[in-house]
Structure 1
Amino acid sequence: MESNEASTLAHRDAQFHLHPFTNAVKNAHEGGKVMTRGEGIYVIDEHGQKHIEALSGLWCVALGFSEQRLIDAATRQMSVLPFYHAFVQRSHQPLIDLAEKLIGMAPVPMSKVFFTNSGSEANDTAIKLLWYWANALGKPDKKKIISRQRAYHGVTIGSASLTGMPHVHGGFDLPLDGFLHLSAPHFYREGKPGETEEAFSTRLADELDTLIRREGAHTIAAMFAEPLMGAGGVIAPPAGYWPKMQAVLRKHDIPLVADEVICGFGRLGRMFGSEYYGIKPDIMIFSKQLSSAYLPISAVMINERIYRPVAEESERRMTFGHGFTASGHPVAAAVALENLAIIEERGLVERARVLGERMHARLAELTAHPLVGETRGAGLIGAIELVMSKEDKSPLETPGRLGTLASEALARQHVITRNIGDAIALCPPLIISESELDELLNRVHAALDDVAQQVKP
């Protein structure tokens, strides 16, 4: 692309586009980077520069940026039935096939799938389903929702209330009342001196039990949780965490919603994060890698415990009054089906396990670096926590500054990723090769050395 055309694109973008999760004034003054093409794990910008997309876009592009089979699946479906809906007892074959496929893949018995268009919509739908369910059971007080600090569940009014991040709440008058947030299960930052991971997990389970007793189990509809927390910093739960937390929920008969938006479809080296951690949810939330984000689609999968009262309530009310125009869009559903077929045919779940071991071994070597306090993750998702002092885990000047410098250094290495505070997140496409993974990690190491030179006394 000619440079003047590229600068025009960036100028037009800054002139007309309000970006998500962006400083609008900064973007208006500086403009951003415009991507024009994708190729495997790479994206190519308006100047022709090739970048490793080390976060799979937004944790989502499992098959990379140029999978022809997904393009062909969309084209075939567009030529047959480009749109139909699922309202008032209507359906179409891609939707039926995808629902059946997901129920068959479920790690625990599930009953029905409700389709939406994004993770935010799916989590918002799950909240409404639970409230509807509680009313169907004749328990109108059973409406409070438990989530966690640093959780990310979306940005609609309901799902943003689940999210445990101040920058998602600030200025929006969120969270809504009735959304309760527990401590994040980050042992490195939240563990007490001398505390083991098991003891830390026991303390967090006791926190959950105390909260439920204080609020009253009869007032709590469910707990929402990511198996491994993604956008909050790639926080892998400590030893014993999920068995202890689920024991408390079972004791109080409170449903568990597993938000698999990032973990689902192979990211952790198992098909679902719930499998990896032995979680037995009542509701599961899917998006992102469901279609490799080639088209927007998400899903809420519910078990019979949730479905039966909801169905009976819909009969009393003559309808289940919820849905979106594009719920279960036929083209998105066709792409999702092809995407799942490719993940299975190419053994990408096992590949994520094997390459994940390689990635985490390389990340563990980085703990010798003067700026690295911790590396963590599972499968093909990881994070590097940066500190100025390994002894007291202190930041540079203000929290997040080291992470910003590292992101900038990685950009100079033509690696696109994101710092989450002082943690650098890595979530490459599942199709990444061994050599590409090694190249990515070499560039990460070079970027850390660059930052070390900038901040050395």
Structure 2
Amino acid sequence: MSNVGNSPESRDIAYVMHPYTNQEKHKEIGPMIAEKGEGVWITDTNGNKYIEGMAGLWSTSLGFNEQRLVDAATKQMQELPYYHLFAHKTTNPAIELAERLVKMAPVPMAQAFFCNSGSEATDTVVKMVWYYNNAKGRKDKKKIIARTKGYHGVTVAAASMTGLPYNHLDFDLPIANIMHTDCPHYYRFGEEGESEEDFATRMADSLEKKILDEGPETVAAFIAEPVMGAGGVILPPKTYFEKVQAVLKKYDVLFIADEVICGFARTGNIFGSETFDLKPDMMTVAKALSSSYLPISAVIVNEDVASTISTNSGKIGTFGHGYTYSGHPVSAAVAVETLKIYEERDILGHVRSVAHHLQDGLRKFADHPLVGEVRGTGLIAAVELVANKETKENFDPKMAVGPHLVGRAQEHGAILRAMGGDGVAFSPPLIITGEELDMLVERFGKALDDTANWLRETGQWNG
């Protein structure tokens, strides 16, 4: 470490281990250091400004300088900077936040349990499902089914439910009792001549077969994002959730809606469960819950789950689960203020009024020779790049076509995200204007053309 320079870049390379980063490549290219945020814009230490087309990590819904959230944190820090929820203790912000979440849920819910991240929330769900079935005397009903390409976090249990290879590779995951069913991506996995509805039927039949093969008495829960986020912004095919929920009900399998990305107006409704008519028994929320100004998440459960956990804790003496920072009063106060802003400023109405700038704008690229599919709803979308539009052939992953495009977009002043299969994701702050969305789409278009030219000039593609 003696050769470490004094610049922020060299100190970062020497001392910071970055998540979701090729650590060796990072030594070569170094970091972009964000220094200031205003609205939907981020400025780096070199003075470059970028439209943050991903709201950070799908999450900074109110932009990067919402003073009301700063004031809410400051006020709570002055009054009570920390207290806990263990052993019959609580705080006013935690009480108010739990009440708001339960009342705004898309289906009848009973209680909220606080965590600090989406990963912790989905990890908590696993423990709750196991605890719930033990309480009901169903000692074998413990298996949880997630979906290939689903994303549910990175703790041991959450990463096991995540259905992406890089979250399992060399981590010795998934753990026992967690398994996966098909990814319901009609564009990628629909068969020739198969309608969207027939594809949904096949997906539901496949889930049912898995439950029967495992034994319904061993299958406890099914977890799904309303829109699959990090797996590719994959929307469910028509009738998919209707048919899947019928299967779950038939075999008494709990349904968990992972709303970590979709919650709080992202899909054009307060919850993605409303957009796609989900009726979950449990929900996880995070990210936009506090506009990501402070870490906080929650698991929201219905009366059956809540009362079963309560009764069992009475039998054994406690519900032995919780975090030092569960319901942290400062985080909770900021989350309460965030929910107030959503309501007072009609953020949902704003999303609905500007979403067409993103959705229609991106669909104008559908005929571009590099574009296989454009998909999205509300203020979440993706463009999938392909080597051959007719066959839907992907590029060799080693070519890193999606990351190349994202790099070019950053050069044009737009931050986007590359996902597996050369998908490019969009999830801007919910406060973004129509004009800013048009600018974001325009900058993406420049990067798309840059990428096509690069591929042709290097002889890697003749599209």
Looking at structure 1, the residues matched to 277 and 357 of structure 2 have their Cα atoms a distance apart, in angstroms, of 23
Q: State how 1:192-231 maps to structure 2 within 5 Å.
A: 192-231=191-230
Looking at structure 2, the residues matched to 65 and 366 of structure 1 have their Cα atoms a distance apart, in angstroms, of 29
Which amino acid counterpart does residue 276 of structure 1 have in structure 2?
A: T
Deviations for 1:182-237, whole angstroms, at most 9, x for unmatched residues? 11111111111111100100000000110111111111110010011001000000
Looking at structure 2, the residues matched to 211 and 305 of structure 1 have their Cα atoms a distance apart, in angstroms, of 25
Q: CA deviation at 1:26?
A: 1.8
Structure 1 window deviating more from structure 2 (399-408 vs 367-376): it is: 399-408
In structure 2, the residue matched to 1:347 is 346
Looking at structure 2, the residues matched to 326 and 398 of structure 1 have their Cα atoms a distance apart, in angstroms, of 40
Q: CA deviation at 1:396?
A: 3.1
RMSD, matched Cα: 1.2
CA contact 1:154–1:160 (8 Å) conserved in 2: yes
Q: CA deviation at 1:323?
A: 0.3
Q: State how 1:129-168 maps to structure 2 within 5 Å.
A: 129-168=128-167
| 2:263 equivalent to 1:264 | yes
In structure 2, the residue matched to 1:424 is 424
Which amino acid counterpart does residue 446 of structure 1 have in structure 2?
A: K
Looking at structure 1, the residues matched to 149 and 172 of structure 2 have their Cα atoms a distance apart, in angstroms, of 18
Looking at structure 2, the residues matched to 302 and 68 of structure 1 have their Cα atoms a distance apart, in angstroms, of 32
Looking at structure 2, the residues matched to 445 and 244 of structure 1 have their Cα atoms a distance apart, in angstroms, of 37
In structure 1, the residue matched to 2:307 is 308
Structure 1 window deviating more from structure 2 (393-402 vs 168-177): it is: 393-402
Q: State how 1:431-442 maps to structure 2 within 5 Å.
A: 431-442=431-442
Structure 1 window deviating more from structure 2 (265-274 vs 357-366): it is: 357-366
Q: State how 1:28-427 maps to structure 2 within 5 Å.
A: 28-398=27-397, 401-421=400-420, 422-427=422-427
CA contact 1:387–1:402 (8 Å) conserved in 2: no
Q: CA deviation at 1:370?
A: 1.2
Give 3-state SS (helix, strand or coil) of 1:390's partner.
coil
Which amino acid counterpart does residue 440 of structure 1 have in structure 2?
A: L
In structure 2, the residue matched to 1:450 is 450
Which amino acid counterpart does residue 364 of structure 2 have in structure 1?
A: E
Deviations for 1:153-207, whole angstroms, at most 9, x for unmatched residues? 0000000010001100111100001111011111111111111100100000000
Looking at structure 2, the residues matched to 7 and 39 of structure 1 have their Cα atoms a distance apart, in angstroms, of 28
Q: CA deviation at 1:417?
A: 1.3
Looking at structure 1, the residues matched to 251 and 347 of structure 2 have their Cα atoms a distance apart, in angstroms, of 38
Give 3-state SS (helix, strand or coil) of 1:384's partner.
strand
Counterparts in 2 of 1:411 and 1:301: CA distance versus 1, 3 Å: same
Q: CA deviation at 1:368?
A: 1.4
Deviations for 1:280-338, whole angstroms, at most 9, x for unmatched residues? 00000000000000000000000011111111110111110000000000000000011
Give 3-state SS (helix, strand or coil) of 1:368's partner.
coil
CA contact 1:260–1:286 (8 Å) conserved in 2: yes
In structure 2, the residue matched to 1:3 is none
Looking at structure 1, the residues matched to 455 and 24 of structure 2 have their Cα atoms a distance apart, in angstroms, of 28
Deviations for 1:82-127, whole angstroms, at most 9, x for unmatched residues? 0000000000100000001111101111011000000000000010
Give 3-state SS (helix, strand or coil) of 1:90's partner.
coil
CA contact 1:269–1:351 (8 Å) conserved in 2: no
Give 3-state SS (helix, strand or coil) of 2:375's partner.
strand
Q: CA deviation at 1:62?
A: 0.3
Q: How many residues align?
A: 452
Which amino acid counterpart does residue 420 of structure 1 have in structure 2?
A: M
Which amino acid counterpart does residue 318 of structure 1 have in structure 2?
A: G
Q: CA deviation at 1:398?
A: 3.6
Looking at structure 2, the residues matched to 198 and 188 of structure 1 have their Cα atoms a distance apart, in angstroms, of 13
Looking at structure 1, the residues matched to 174 and 417 of structure 2 have their Cα atoms a distance apart, in angstroms, of 25
CA contact 1:366–1:372 (8 Å) conserved in 2: yes
* TM-score of the two chains, using structure 2 as the length reference: 0.96
- Structure 1 segments, 4+ long, off by >4 Å, are none
Quote the sequence identity (%).
49
Q: CA deviation at 1:399?
A: 6.7
Which amino acid counterpart does residue 387 of structure 1 have in structure 2?
A: V
Which amino acid counterpart does residue 426 of structure 1 have in structure 2?
A: F
Give 3-state SS (helix, strand or coil) of 2:365's partner.
helix
Counterparts in 2 of 1:347 and 1:164: CA distance versus 1, 3 Å: same
CA contact 1:264–1:289 (8 Å) conserved in 2: yes
CA contact 1:400–1:420 (8 Å) conserved in 2: no
Structure 1 window deviating more from structure 2 (307-316 vs 388-397): it is: 388-397
Counterparts in 2 of 1:168 and 1:400: CA distance versus 1, 3 Å: farther
Which amino acid counterpart does residue 440 of structure 2 have in structure 1?
A: L
Looking at structure 2, the residues matched to 276 and 400 of structure 1 have their Cα atoms a distance apart, in angstroms, of 36
Which amino acid counterpart does residue 268 of structure 2 have in structure 1?
A: G
Which amino acid counterpart does residue 405 of structure 1 have in structure 2?
A: H
Looking at structure 1, the residues matched to 14 and 376 of structure 2 have their Cα atoms a distance apart, in angstroms, of 39
5+ residue gaps in structure 2? 457-461
Q: CA deviation at 1:7?
A: 7.5
* TM-score of the two chains, using structure 1 as the length reference: 0.97
Structure 1 window deviating more from structure 2 (71-80 vs 347-356): it is: 347-356
Looking at structure 2, the residues matched to 372 and 333 of structure 1 have their Cα atoms a distance apart, in angstroms, of 42
Which amino acid counterpart does residue 431 of structure 2 have in structure 1?
A: I
Counterparts in 2 of 1:7 and 1:426: CA distance versus 1, 3 Å: farther
